Structure 1
């Protein structure tokens, strides 16, 4: 069982349809040299640290980790992964810095933002070790209560929106999508709400609408009939990288074989996640989603490489929408993924 750190719908005849949600860079600091040197050996061997505390969200994006656990890919590499529940990428970064987490899943916006602010400077900065999830239309939706006066993007102006953490990929894609719909994103107020609580926050009028991801989109649509008013994974954000896995420069320096072993195992999980039937089955376990909901969720893409050009697109959008104050180069943060 995962521990914890820190703290409808578009209607289709006969059923309710669904839709579908960092780490960042490193500095020179404790690492020295380039990323390939820092990553150490890429051949199987005894790892420096077998037990890995891994920050995860109960969302579809992290299905590859659970696949790798279930199929013994981590075990084959000499690793035992302990999933630890986090609220979001930004919330996980203090856990990395303190050592409560060895690695974490998180959205790229939060990781780039933290690295730009030198949040993890004392532990060698933040390093990206695997791309995790890439956007496709209908996997990021802003949902409002059934019968709400909010029916389109323009109706969101002046409203309060639930978001799992601010200054993250949700805020970035939301701002870009609003502007694409001729709505000033600065006219929306954000209120932080954990993803599992989004549906209730909308139903209880804690927020006017909520930015959600799978499987919580489908659950809210099926349970409460919530309606989609904005697809934030379309238009300017279609195909944008969402989130990945990372660690600190210090952990990488001290445990290069461990990181390489984790990467090899997770690549297999990412590939296997192309079997959507398998992912739907696992959602009923780690995300506690009923089978009916799991059968309806929409998927993004599960990349198996770290591509600097693709990830730079996130940093460019962050600069455009004020989530970064200066231009930011993502390349120094990438830890090469070992080849099979």
Structure 2
């Protein structure tokens, strides 16, 4: 039996009970993740060379998703025989919803969404890992820097997130819980990513926000001083301090198990392209990488953009592989921050796979 047939056989075991999901209406739960998922949108790998794949990204300008865009810019998807269409959906929960609704086939989003979907008995699986850290930071707006000096001071305040139910939202809830508060002690507002997020914090539309790069660096340039940051997992040290782990898989490619079962060759090509991109990043400077990215992503300051990419390299995966310990760290966060996961029975082995990286 060849490798592809092995994968089909293995994956089919995980989806035999999910066929009844076809045709269910799309619904979005209170935490922002869909409550039901159709079993897949693609027609299989029969399309051959140049097969079209639509990938929804949870905020394309955010550096946590850089490998997805960079793989496209370097031509790696095309070299693998794929015609990839990247769609910027401005938030992880929105990207997940688009995939479940059928407008995209694969999501470039945070791994934690696969855990959330399993808690709803929906088979979604990540198949290549891009980042060993969520890259998040809790930033206080300038107007509140004298009154918000700790996470405890967020009680009753308005915190900006990319979208409700997204990883930024989960991070707020995790921090509140870890500081002895209810997870709804602070309100959250969707501010998206990129210029909308920077403007919301700069203009004081929110009291604080969960932000990622390059938005944090752009904000600093706009306000002329270093912003007040209360919690920061952009570095390995910060990751260890907040989550107590060396690896917290975040940005990844994931799809429904049904799509993976129908499209194992395509999944392998996508995983290979991302792995090649991670190797490229490890071997090149931030300046060289920035030169390959869309010019608009630099926000008018290519040197600053390159410097932030150089720092980002510290937390990117080198090989795209998921580790059991990293997955367990994400699950622990979800049990604390997400009531829908809570004490639900979760089989982590069904939320990710390294099979397509062989």
Separation (CA, whole Å) in 1 of partners of 2:66 and 2:55: 13
Unaligned runs of 5+ in 2: 1-13, 20-45
Alignment partner, residue 170 of structure 2: 172
Separation (CA, whole Å) in 2 of partners of 1:112 and 1:194: 23
Alignment partner, residue 279 of structure 2: 271
Separation (CA, whole Å) in 1 of partners of 2:173 and 2:101: 32
* 2:336 pairs with one of 314, 317, 320: 320
CA contact 1:163–1:212 (8 Å) conserved in 2: yes
Normalising by the residue count of structure 2, what TM-score does the alignment of the two structures yield?
A: 0.73
RMSD: 2.8
Q: Write out per-residue CA displacement over residues 290-337 of structure 1, whole angstroms, 9 at most, x where no aligned residue.
A: 214313424122252122331122112211334413142221232334
Q: Write out per-residue CA displacement over residues 174-219 of structure 1, whole angstroms, 9 at most, x where no aligned residue.
A: 3444555666654221112101212211233321111100111110
Q: Write out per-residue CA displacement over residues 85-128 of structure 1, whole angstroms, 9 at most, x where no aligned residue.
A: 1122211122212321111111123332133224xx4xxx2121
Separation (CA, whole Å) in 1 of partners of 2:183 and 2:303: 35
Shift of 1:64: 1.7
Q: Give the structure with the larger helix fraction.
A: 2
Shift of 1:257: 1.0
Alignment partner, residue 306 of structure 2: 295
CA contact 1:66–1:282 (8 Å) conserved in 2: no
CA contact 1:273–1:302 (8 Å) conserved in 2: no
Compared with structure 1, are the counterparts of its residues 254 and 214 closer, same or farther at alpha carbon in structure 2 (3 Å cutoff)?
same
Structure-to-structure mapping, 1:46-61, within 5 angstroms: 47=48, 50-56=51-57, 57=59, 58-61=61-64
CA contact 1:63–1:273 (8 Å) conserved in 2: no
CA contact 2:155–2:186 (8 Å) conserved in 1: yes
Q: Give the structure with the larger strand fraction.
A: 1
Question: Which structure carries more relative contact order (alpha carbon 8 Å, separation 6+)?
Answer: 1
Alignment partner, residue 228 of structure 2: 228
Alignment partner, residue 163 of structure 1: 161
Alignment partner, residue 87 of structure 1: 90
Unaligned runs of 5+ in 1: 1-25, 32-44
- Pairs aligned (count): 296
CA contact 1:109–1:167 (8 Å) conserved in 2: no
Separation (CA, whole Å) in 2 of partners of 1:28 and 1:222: 53
